[in-house]
Amino acid sequence: MTFSERLGIVSAREIQLESIDDALRNRIVNYLMGEKMINEDVSSFILDKLGIQVYHPKYSDQFFDITQNADSLKSVLNSCEWNVIYDVLEFLYAYIDDMSNSCDISKLFEWKVNAILEEEKSGYRMINGELASIVDGEEIQSIVESTNTSFNAVNTHMKKALRLYSDREKPDYENSIKESISAVEAMCCIITDLTGKKATLGEALKKLEDSGVHIHTAMKSAFGKLYGYTSDGTNIRHGGIDFSHAPAEDAKYMLVSCSAFINYLKEKYAKI
């Protein structure tokens, strides 16, 4: 088992880019069948789009009749390749959008699909009926690299950020964000040798140049503002403040951004 697999997020089984696991597949199938969307007409439409021979009750002598189309489609969904699941979701959105007099029905379908995809850590979201990637291989590699530096403090914070983000039963986006920015803080303090009360990201960013690490003013300012986001009056880092509704996209952004900055600083520091 690889390092990223032991953490449980930075593998295809967690941030699912080129596969779907049983939990995600089952939730999609159960949603489609449980909502009774898959009647005979819908099933025939989707099976036809997939190029699978369908049964029609009026012309059963012209088709190979194994079972009713809804059961056939369910069987396909339970055994097909991962990408076919997403094909079916797109086909179904298009069917609903075309057959409905209101876009509200197709948008409700899209919202429910995206809720499942987010909860099960799919790397895709439906946007106007099309599945689009929300994370790529380079971002995942950046996160993995930032958890495997030569600095234990940095690794510890990033590992915690990953675990908190990837917990499928009870994700903690608030503390994932906190750990991500704390990893950057740890990296900057290692470079600048700041300790004690002065060992904050705000102070360390100011001291980077004194330690031989020169970064663009705009980049320094951007991470200073990110630190402010986690440290102001309605913040994450002050333990007594309730910030329990931090969205998943904020936590993902902080994971990717902080990991990239850590890797950038690591290369800069290696040169001195």
Residue 12 lies inside a defined structural domain of this protein: no
pTM recorded for the entire structure = 0.61
Q: Is residue 237 part of a domain?
A: yes
Same domain as 99, residue 153: no
Domain that holds residue 110: 18-133
Same domain, 145 and 252: yes
DSSP output for the chain: --HHHHHTSSSTTTSBSS---HHHHHHHHHHHHHTT---HHHHHHHHHHTT-----GGGGGGS--SS-HHHHHHHHHHHS-HHHHHHHHHHHHHHHHHH-S-HHHHHHHHHHHHHHHHHTTBSEEEETTEEEES--HHHHHHHHHHTSSS-HHHHHHHHHHHHHHH-SSS--HHHHHHHHHHHHHHHHHHHHT--GGG-SHHHHHHHTGGGT----HHHHHHHHHHHHHTTSTT-SSSTTS--TT--HHHHHHHHHHHHHHHHHHHHHHHT-
Q: Are residues 127 and 154 in the same domain?
A: no
pLDDT in tens, 19-42: 899 999 999 999 988 766 777 777
pLDDT tens-digit readout, 98-137: 887 767 888 899 999 999 998 888 888 887 888 877 777 6
> Do 262 and 194 belong together in one domain?
yes
Residue 188 belongs to some domain of the structure: yes
Q: Are both 129 and 151 inside the same structural domain?
A: no
Residue 8 lies inside a defined structural domain of this protein: no
- In the chain, the number of structural domains is 2
Residue 36 within any structural domain of the chain: yes
CA distance 120 to 95: 25
For residue range 36-72, list pLDDT tens digits in order. 677 777 777 888 788 876 555 554 444 433 346 667 7
Does the residue 60 lie in any domain?
yes
Are residue 161 and residue 98 in the same domain, yes or no?
no
Domain boundary among 77, 104, 133: 133
